[in-house]
Amino acid sequence: MEKTVRADWPEQGKAEEYEISLNIQSEEMLFNAYDREHRTLNDGLREYLIDKLGQKGRNQRVVIHIYADDTIKETEVKQAFSAMMEETQTKLRHEQKQNRIKQLWMLLIGAVFISLSLLLQSKVNMVVSEIISAIGAFSIWEAAGIWIIERPAIRHKKALLTQLGNTGLIVETKAQ
């Protein structure tokens, strides 16, 4: 239930606005069922929002429009969005750090095995030397795969999260 409309933004002139409409009929649809204080958003909702952000155009500003029943408080929703942003940013930083460590370890292991293969080349059977060399090449290949595939995916998630943090949030209840 998303739509694209034209809007005037003072700092950018004409810009397209990408609206993500959410029809929330109960608090369980919006907040994590295990959080009685309504501080965290539903995980499914978070994934839905990130998926929708991935579908929008490049120069579109995002507005999340929540149509809710009158028991949902706008302040709770905004606090939950802020908490989600902080939690997701922390998770992504941790994932990025683990990714970097994994990449360095694979590169180090690859270098050690290739060096070992070169040192043992004349001392051991050629098959053993080639197996050690293949293990080293595989480790370096894995490090390259992390650098080429996984790291850009994390950067993309961080960019989407930044966009999510810059969205407008409108909560409209039935009582309004």
Query: Which pLDDT tens digit goes with each residue over 130-171?
Result: 999 999 999 999 999 999 999 998 888 888 777 777 777 787
Higher per-residue confidence, 80 vs 112: 112
Q: Where are the domains of the chain?
A: 2-90+167-173, 92-156
Q: How far is CA 127 from CA 53, 111, 120, in A?
A: 51, 19, 11
127: tokens are 């098959």
Query: Which pLDDT tens digit goes with each residue over 47-60?
Result: 888 788 777 766 67
Q: What is the CA radius of gyration of the chain?
A: 24
3-state helix, strand, coil in the chain (%, to 5): 60, 20, 20
pLDDT at 3: 44
Check residue 60 and report its DSSP letter: E
Query: What average pLDDT is seen over the chain?
Result: 80
pLDDT at 108: 97
**SS3 (DSSP) at 11:** coil
pLDDT at 40: 74
Count how many Cα atoms sit within 13 Å of the Cα of residue 84 in the half-sphere of its side chain: 25
If 0-12 CB within 10 Å is exposed, 13-18 middle and 19+ buried, where does residue 72 land?
Answer: buried
Q: Tell whether the model's pLDDT for residue 5 goes beyond 50.
A: no
| pTM of the predicted protein model | 0.68
